[in-house]
A and B are shown apart, each in its own frame.
Chain A
Amino acid sequence: DGGITQSPKYLFRKEGQNVTLSCEQNLNHDAMYWYRQDPGQGLRLIYYSQIVNDFQKGDIAEGYSVSREKKESFPLTVTSAQKNPTAFYLCASRRGPDHTEAFFGQGTRLTVV
């Protein structure tokens, strides 16, 4: 089945530790995105990538980093610089910009303990 896969589903992290969230897609989509979802805040864009080896900051990129070494993969690292990392993280992909729907992964719920 074609789709977009996030792992793990639940993640616990100690304060001060970096953690990497995985996102893989086999839809052959060029564009990939990371969103953060908090209660009452909707979806806020962290980073996006339109092509391999290129990515752009979204609205709330501080404390996060990404890489796009392969078309299929767009991992997100939540660094210790992120002051409030506990949230639900959603990865999405689109065939290309403009006029195409976004396909979302199942999400990763990150909790800092």
Chain B
Amino acid sequence: GQQVMQIPQYQHVQEGEDFTTYCNSSTTLSNIQWYKQRPGGHPVFLIQLVKSGEVKKQKRLTFQFGEAKKNSSLHITATQTTDVGTYFCAGHSGGGADGLTFGKGTHLIIQP
């Protein structure tokens, strides 16, 4: 079945440093979504990428979808303490199948 690998599992950064998490799928994806889960909370949708090579920005967050639609990345510029949490990618293979396949997430820990 489809697998979505996400690295790194944990990332410690100093406040103000940049952060990147990477997501790789074993199969071609029809789209990929990113979610953020704050400590003790539930996942909240951030963005969806659909097109090959697509790049989207949300303030300090930059999302990319690979040309082959098998990988994606989330980059945060100049991290702030409010960025703390776990970032998940979720791939959808399409073709009538359902149920987003989530990566294991990257836990972002920020040291002030």
Contacts and interface: CB of A to CB of B under 8 A. Distances in A.
Interface of A: 31, 33, 35, 40-45, 48, 50, 56, 58-59, 90, 92, 97-99, 101-107
B48 interface: yes
B31 A98 contact: yes
Interface in B44-76: 44-45, 48, 50
Nearest to B93: A98
Chain B interface main SS type: loop
Contacts of B94: 98
A48 B45 contact: no
Contacts of A106: 41-42
Given A98-B31, A98-B92, A99-B48, A43 B99 contact: no
Nearest to A44: B102
